[in-house]
Amino acid sequence: MTQSTLTKRIEFSASHRYFKPEWDEERNRQVFGRCFQEHGHNYLLEVTLGGQVDSVTGMIINLYDLKRIVTDVLEEFDHKHLNFDMPYFERLVPTTENLALVLWRKFRQRPETRDIASIRLCEGEDLWAELHPPTDPASPDKADPAEALLTRRYALTVKRNAEASHVETWPLSLDVTVRGPIDPVTGRVTDLMALDKRVRERVLDHLQETNLSKHPDCAGRPVTLSTLAQVLWPRLLDVADARLEHLRLQDHHDLILDYSG
Q: Catalytic site residues?
A: 35, 79, 123
| Alpha carbons 226 and 230: distance in angstroms, whole number | 6
Burial 64-100 (b: 16+ CB within 10 A, else e): eebeebbeebbeebeebebbeebebbeebbbbbbbbb
CA–CA gap between residue 55 and residue 71 (Å, rounded): 27
**Could you tell me the strand order of the sheet in which 167-180 lies?**
80-81, 3-16, 39-52, 116-124, 127-131, 148-161, 167-180, 243-251, 256-259
Mode of pairing for the β-strands spanning 127-131 and 167-180: unpaired
